[in-house]
Structure 1
């Protein structure tokens, strides 16, 4: 039955209105979050470092961060304040946070139906001496996108969570690197002072030897030995001074400081004291399996791959399916209404290649996740052994080597006062005492570095940069 023109126009208007309402409903359920997904990144970081990072998207946020950094730089740095400055001031970290916005845009786009396409055609000609115009109009929607919308949105949600964990991993890694750089810079600065004392002792010994040779009561060979030690001490001091500059500049880079800020901070005079006993980590491996970000990332990657396999199966035999409203009108003729469907026929590829590829990708993700877990457990055991060893060595130097060197020095001073040893023996003992203290500083530095690395091995990622 042919509807009258008024009824046809009413039905067409109703159809268009229903279509518009459906489009609004679909797009309304996909929107951007209030924090851009950064809240999860901040929580993951705080749980692992105790510090809360801040994303800087507005000028007032950047200004507040700059004021806080200036306040922290006005006081001698600590490991915790160094980490806070790095999280506030490192521009590379803020660039990583910008990836959250990109990933969220992909997530929102996946929750919205693709824009329809409008086709319009116009033909003009002359028939029986009369000019005629034929107009062809079509509005086409991607129906397949609507059918697979939930699965596509779930897949993008998994990818968005991956980006969140990658941002958290970058933040925790920066905190770890900053703590290690802080301890190395403090130790290098402290060692410069001790190497300077060795050089001063060697300089005094060398000068005295030259005077005694000139007086004729000291052998030339003994004088050359003192001179050789002085030359070696000078070289060691030069290397130590450069090492202090290098470690400080590495800390400057991690803190994100400019040339003006490179000299704006003060390091403490010495490393923190050694704890009397190392921390016990009975559940270190279990903690790593539950909290290590690279393990969580590998799991999420495997889950996302599994969902991608489900999406591939859903679209295996229909690659492109589009449907839409179409009408056609010509001069002097009644408008023709209808619809069209565009379907890609699987004549040459039935989708088996894509299914096989997805299954292979999933198995690859499963095996990589298992390998990440194996590596994580091994690295935690290795890091804990390094931590216990570093503590034992630092404790040995603190309680045995340094006190022993001090007692030897005191005894030699008594012997020198009793004219039982020469001044050269006394200076040589002073050099050995300083060398023992320097070794103790290095052992203490290694302890704090190992402690930081253990925390990273339990909560962050592979020490060797292996990522799924």
Structure 2
């Protein structure tokens, strides 16, 4: 198809440059939004390490490590230094690059041909532009904008998850260290009891059964100390990985004991409403459904016109004036009428709708479960603190008085020491479980999904002294 072309090539070129020039990279690449979302949910912003601030970041981390770590300072280091999170920031740059790319037209196509026969020749020149791409450019940009926003939410979710994982690892590490300190005391007492049992057995004041029981207690205390030492190493290394530390940085200090329980548990009456408003996975599901709906509208609009290119043609022949015109290239929907693409888009939309509903249902259930775990852990830890441990101490004091008054024997005294060790270890674990459950509750409300307190503590429990 040819004829007089009313639009000059230079005008089309200017239009292309104008439209393409509207798509540019932002100054922060979405990082500021991610940092604001994270700070709103965990109380601390994220940090991005670049060549121009690497030295300042390293100095800041050394400053924090100069003091014993707290839950907040551990999270601060993780949000500054975790390499996995830094990789997420690079992937966010990729998402922005896709957004900018969507704002540019497909490069024009240029063709040139020269045919000659003897002294006669024919030259054809043409330049083609993606006309449909120009018309759908705003819609495509809108779709990529939503995907970019979703990428920011995904990055923020990983930052919030990292903060939760770091707090959980911190409490596990402090609890394991506290257990080691107590088990070392138990082991010393067990060794002293074993030596006393040997002396009494030599002079005939200890039966073989009592002697063997005491030796068993000493051997068991040694094994439990070994388990607790490895557990302390394992939990500390887990925390180290999340903090992104190596070399001298791994010598960070932890407090001697877990934080005390708060005076009362949190009473949250609108926990489901908070989750629906604040959970990032719910927001991502909604954004995904909106983007899918927009993509469906685009698919329907281009169902019959799959490819439509328009361009300028210039033709030269021997002994004839130069001819100018235009050319339109259209894909004829003879075999593929776009029905399959439309059906696919509709199915993807329904999948997104149902996935969003599923996410909301799971979020409501998970946050209720997390709150139940939180309250249970608080009540159990307080029960150990206020009832079991004080009662066990009274029993030990009474047995000590009876032993001093020769009203009970060494075996009863040593048996009580073993029971007291079990009670104290259980109290430490209960206190640890409370802080882990508190962390899981906050993530269930603000992040996306719960952190299974039972699974998180099982690795520690498997090696904890009993």
Measured against the shorter chain, the TM-score band is over 0.9
Residues 201 and 431 of structure 1 are in contact (CA less than 8 Å); yes or no, is this contact kept in structure 2?
Answer: no
Residues 285 and 356 of structure 2 are in contact (CA less than 8 Å); yes or no, is this contact kept in structure 1?
Answer: yes
Greater Cα offset, 337-346 or 221-230: 221-230
Instruction: Give a deviation string over 1:52-102, Cα, whole Å, max 9, x none.
Output: 11222x312222211111111111000000000001011110000111111
> Shift of residue 196 of structure 1?
1.6
Does residue 208 in structure 1 map to residue 201 in structure 2? no
Q: Which residue pairs with 2:67 in the alignment?
A: 75
> Shift of residue 204 of structure 1?
1.6
Instruction: Give the Cα separation in 2 of the matches to 1:106 and 1:124.
Output: 45
Change (3 A) 1:442 1:464: closer
Q: Which residue pairs with 2:187 in the alignment?
A: 199
Instruction: Give the Cα separation in 2 of the matches to 1:224 and 1:412.
Output: 21
Residues 85 and 158 of structure 2 are in contact (CA less than 8 Å); yes or no, is this contact kept in structure 1?
Answer: yes
Instruction: Give the Cα separation in 1 of the matches to 2:421 and 2:72.
Output: 30
> Shift of residue 37 of structure 1?
1.1
Residues 180 and 452 of structure 1 are in contact (CA less than 8 Å); yes or no, is this contact kept in structure 2?
Answer: yes
| Residue correspondence of structure 1 range 163-312 to structure 2 within 5 A | 163-263=151-251, 265-312=252-299
Does residue 387 in structure 1 map to residue 379 in structure 2? no
Instruction: Give the Cα separation in 1 of the matches to 2:30 and 2:210.
Output: 72
> Shift of residue 231 of structure 1?
1.4
Aligned with 1:152 (options 134, 140, 143): 140
Instruction: Give a deviation string over 1:148-183, Cα, whole Å, max 9, x none.
Output: 111111111111111101100010000000000000
Structure 1 runs not aligned, ≥5 long: 1-7
Residues 78 and 162 of structure 2 are in contact (CA less than 8 Å); yes or no, is this contact kept in structure 1?
Answer: yes
Instruction: Give a deviation string over 1:167-223, Cα, whole Å, max 9, x none.
Output: 000100000000000000000000011122222222122221122222222221221
Greater Cα offset, 366-375 or 406-415: 406-415
Residues 197 and 434 of structure 1 are in contact (CA less than 8 Å); yes or no, is this contact kept in structure 2?
Answer: no
Residues 374 and 437 of structure 2 are in contact (CA less than 8 Å); yes or no, is this contact kept in structure 1?
Answer: yes
SS of the residue aligned with 2:319?
Answer: coil
Q: Which residue pairs with 1:428 in the alignment?
A: 415
| C-alpha RMSD over aligned residues | 1.7
Instruction: Give the Cα separation in 2 of the matches to 1:313 and 1:319.
Output: 11
Instruction: Give the Cα separation in 2 of the matches to 1:455 and 1:329.
Output: 74
Does residue 110 in structure 1 map to residue 102 in structure 2? yes
Residues 123 and 133 of structure 1 are in contact (CA less than 8 Å); yes or no, is this contact kept in structure 2?
Answer: yes
Name the TM-score, length of structure 2 as normaliser. 0.94
The ranges of structure 1 where at least 4 consecutive aligned residues each deviate by more than 3 angstroms after the TM superposition are: none
Name the TM-score, length of structure 1 as normaliser. 0.93
Q: Which residue pairs with 1:403 in the alignment?
A: 390
Instruction: Give the Cα separation in 1 of the matches to 2:150 and 2:94.
Output: 13
> Shift of residue 25 of structure 1?
1.8
> Shift of residue 17 of structure 1?
3.0
Instruction: Give the Cα separation in 1 of the matches to 2:135 and 2:200.
Output: 98
SS of the residue aligned with 1:30?
Answer: coil
- Aligned residue pairs total 450
Q: Which residue pairs with 2:77 in the alignment?
A: 85
Instruction: Give the Cα separation in 1 of the matches to 2:33 and 2:102.
Output: 21
Instruction: Give the Cα separation in 2 of the matches to 1:85 and 1:255.
Output: 6
SS of the residue aligned with 1:52?
Answer: coil
Instruction: Give the Cα separation in 1 of the matches to 2:296 and 2:451.
Output: 31
Q: Which residue pairs with 2:33 in the alignment?
A: 40
Instruction: Give a deviation string over 1:337-392, Cα, whole Å, max 9, x none.
Output: 11111100001121111111111111111111101100000000000000000000
Greater Cα offset, 403-412 or 289-298: 403-412
Residues 402 and 436 of structure 1 are in contact (CA less than 8 Å); yes or no, is this contact kept in structure 2?
Answer: yes
Instruction: Give the Cα separation in 2 of the matches to 1:451 and 1:400.
Output: 22
Does residue 413 in structure 1 map to residue 400 in structure 2? yes
| Residue correspondence of structure 1 range 325-404 to structure 2 within 5 A | 325-404=312-391
Residues 205 and 424 of structure 1 are in contact (CA less than 8 Å); yes or no, is this contact kept in structure 2?
Answer: no
Instruction: Give a deviation string over 1:412-462, Cα, whole Å, max 9, x none.
Output: 222222121223322332332232122111100000000000000001011
Residues 45 and 171 of structure 1 are in contact (CA less than 8 Å); yes or no, is this contact kept in structure 2?
Answer: yes
Does residue 31 in structure 1 map to residue 24 in structure 2? yes
Instruction: Give the Cα separation in 1 of the matches to 2:451 and 2:53.
Output: 34
Q: Which residue pairs with 2:127 in the alignment?
A: 139
SS of the residue aligned with 1:122?
Answer: strand
Residues 379 and 462 of structure 1 are in contact (CA less than 8 Å); yes or no, is this contact kept in structure 2?
Answer: yes
> Shift of residue 464 of structure 1?
7.0
Instruction: Give the Cα separation in 1 of the matches to 2:180 and 2:327.
Output: 82
